[in-house]
Amino acid sequence: MSEPAGSGARTSRIAAAVTAAVLFAAVGIVLALTTPWNPLPGHVPGGHAAPDPALDFSPGEIARSRAFDSAVNPPAYAGLVAGLVVVLALGLSPAGSRLVGWTTARVRRWPLRIALAAVVLTTVLRLCGLPFDIWSESVLRRYGVSTQSWPAWLVDQLKSLGVTWVIYTVALLLLYALVRRFPRYWWAGAAGGGFALVVAVSFLYPVAVEPVFNRFHPLPKGDLRTDLLAMASRDGVPVEDVLVADASRRTTSLNAYVSGFGSTRRIVVYDTLLKSPRDRIESIVAHELGHAKHNDVLWGTLVGALGVAGAICLLQLLLTSPRLLRRAGVDVPAEPRRGTGASDPRSAALLLALVAVATQIGTPVQNLVSRHIEARADAHALDLTRDPGTFASMQHELSVRNISDLAPDPVEYLLWLTHPAGPERIAMARDWARMHHAPVPPPLRDR
């Protein structure tokens, strides 16, 4: 009986397809049930406020946002397209397998060949993206958003490449070990391993990766710290610490986030934010508490882990397809031997191409769900602070300082927008005020 036409191989493929369908159905169910499709439930007297940049932003601010948008879009789109073209050209032609074969020709041990393949391929892809990243960075610099020197920026790029090397090397070593050991049912172990790896990365990221890029220190004792921790305890969210990241080393933009869960969960504010008035900082931290309260990181991790496990099952169907393997320049012998077909390290380029396609397909869905989760965190901030005026001023300041897109087009929503646009967030503050008979924030343009 010869593979992959043999009945054992066929059974394995059917099992992988069924498991993938079950896992993606689970992703769909979790997303359908946990996504806050209506982040601000209830009746808004007089109807919802329409997002309107002209109401809250001066003509100068709107013009600056438009100009910035048309300066950052070309490198962003060109980089995205170039990245996909290169990864697909490497994976769906013999180019990638030749590159891996050539760079690993003198290496005997397969784990070393895999590690080398991971490093070489991710480095080539990063180098292809570098011109576009330099282009983007020069725009940020021109608009004063980036404060980094070019050498410091380059060091960041190298660190981020190092993190990519570690994650890809670990993931590929585990995957190829399974493919070699269990030629038919490796995908079952790999799906479980992929699930565990996503959970581990989400748990370790705040303690292992974030410190590579930023230094953190606890927000010093004082009124602000006391206020923020009091607000967290009033909210019923256990927060051990509020940390300050020294983000001003590279940017003027304002941000805060909550990362990790369980004992690694923390609220991080950029040091750039600390110059803002205290009630505005409270407004931002109240938003982050909303993420903590609804366990957004935990649910996001679960969905990501299920999605990765499902994608690995689909991968089995594609990565064992003799047609795809031959197209990728990987030998497919009639009698499978260890180290040939999918278990040949030269199939790594095909693997990366498939991962890139899967990621690109997942992005619009991720962004859509993320925007609703962010809107719920906004509603939570309004409920907690009961101060829509400050919320609206803070969102205005965020949009102006970060030169956010005030009127994104549908493609930008699909590809890039993880948060609602500033005017939408301000409109929600007005809706909240009407619902709670609080003073409706007046137009911010003419202050």
Buried (b) or exposed (e) across 22-49, using 16+ Cβ within 10 A? ebbebbeeebeebbbeebbeeeeeeeeb
Contacts with Zn ion, 345-374, as mask; x by CB under 5 A? -----------------------------x
Q: How far is the CB of 220 from Zn ion (least distance, A)?
A: 24
Say if CB 306 and CB 139 are below 8 A apart: no
Q: Which is nearer to Zn ion, 303 or 377 (CB)?
A: 377
Peptide bond before residue 4 is cis, with ω within 30 degrees of 0: yes
Stretch touching Zn ion by CB under 5 A, among 45-53, 192-200, 377-385, 433-441:
377-385
Q: How far is the CB of 370 from Zn ion (least distance, A)?
A: 9
Using only C-alpha atoms, what is the Rg of the chain? Answer: 24
**Residues 329, 91: Cα–Cα separation, whole Å:** 9
Stretch touching Zn ion by CB under 5 A, among 5-13, 19-27, 347-355, 376-384:
376-384
Q: What is the biggest distance separating any 2 CA atoms in the chain, rounded to whole angstroms?
A: 80
Q: How far is the CB of 86 from Zn ion (least distance, A)?
A: 32
Q: How far is the CB of 239 from Zn ion (least distance, A)?
A: 15
Tell me the number of residues near Zn ion by CB under 5 A: 2
Q: Which is nearer to Zn ion, 226 or 418 (CB)?
A: 418
Q: Is 178 in the site for Zn ion (CB under 5 A)?
A: no
Q: Is 377 in the site for Zn ion (CB under 5 A)?
A: yes
Q: How far is the CB of 33 from Zn ion (least distance, A)?
A: 20
Q: How far is the CB of 259 from Zn ion (least distance, A)?
A: 11
Q: How far is the CB of 228 from Zn ion (least distance, A)?
A: 16
Q: How far is the CB of 178 from Zn ion (least distance, A)?
A: 36
Q: Which is nearer to Zn ion, 291 or 346 (CB)?
A: 291
**Residues 241, 292: Cα–Cα separation, whole Å:** 13
| 149: its two tokens | 């020197």
Helix, strand, coil: what percent of the chain each, to 5? 70, 5, 25
CB atoms within 10 A of CB 8: 13
Residue carrying structure tokens 């509603």: 379
Q: How far is the CB of 281 from Zn ion (least distance, A)?
A: 15
**Residues 421, 395: Cα–Cα separation, whole Å:** 9
**Residues 447, 160: Cα–Cα separation, whole Å:** 42
Query: CB under 8 Å to 311, separation ≥6 — which residues?
Result: 20, 194, 355, 358
Chain Cα centroid distance, residue 183? 32
Q: How far is the CB of 290 from Zn ion (least distance, A)?
A: 7
Residue type, 365: V
Q: Is 417 in the site for Zn ion (CB under 5 A)?
A: no
**Residues 180, 190: Cα–Cα separation, whole Å:** 12
Tell me the C-alpha to C-alpha distance, in Å, between residue 341 and each of 316, 327, 352, 395, 396.
12, 12, 16, 53, 55
Q: Which is nearer to Zn ion, 3 or 235 (CB)?
A: 235
Phi, psi of 151 (to 5 degrees): -60, -40
Contact residues: Zn ion, CB under 5 A: 374, 377
